[in-house]
């Protein structure tokens, strides 16, 4: 399993920002459920797709709210550091491959817009 490490920053970040990796995972799980059990569900899996996209929208909205609160609590700082989280994905000798996320203001806006449009399309 991947070991998680976090970059420390002076401003606090909330649960939604620290767990922003769930935003794309929830629709992916919904996709897998539709593929595996869609024909057996009463509405052929459409309810799973709608609920997963609405859950993704709620998660991205929570991340946006916490980012705005983080920026507003920054005081006189000119730059608000992004919330960065990395995982060791594949250990290869002294230089392991890592994956991660960096959530800043632009990323939060993109998450909200994409989740909102995807929920509308469903």
Tokens encoding 45 = 């899996």
Q: Is 3 in a helix, a strand, or coil?
A: strand
Give the pLDDT of residue 78.
75
Residue 113 CA to chain centroid, in angstroms? 13
Q: What angle do CA 20, 48, 39 make, to 5 degrees?
A: 140
Looking at residues 106-120, what average pLDDT do you find?
97
What is the pTM assigned to this prediction? 0.83
pLDDT (tens digit, 9 = 90+) per residue, 22-73?
A: 999 999 999 999 999 989 989 999 999 999 999 999 999 999 999 999 988 8
Tokens encoding 37 = 């059990």
Whole-number Å distance between alpha carbons of 79 and 73:
12
Give the pLDDT of residue 7.
44
pLDDT, mean over the chain: 88
């Amino acid at each position: 399993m991947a070991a998680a490490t976090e970059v420390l920053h002076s401003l606090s970040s909330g649960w939604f920002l620290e767990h922003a990796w769930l935003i794309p995972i929830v629709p992916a799980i919904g996709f897998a459920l539709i593929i595996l059990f869609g024909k057996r569900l009463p509405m052929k899996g459409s309810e799973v797709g709608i609920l997963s996209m609405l859950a993704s929208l709620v998660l991205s909205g929570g991340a946006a709210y916490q980012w705005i609160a983080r920026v507003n609590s920054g005081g006189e700082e000119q730059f608000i550091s992004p919330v960065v989280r990395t995982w060791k994905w594949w250990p290869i000798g002294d230089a392991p491959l890592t994956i991660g996320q960096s959530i800043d203001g632009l990323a939060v806006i993109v998450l909200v817009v994409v989740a909102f449009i995807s929920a509308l399309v469903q």
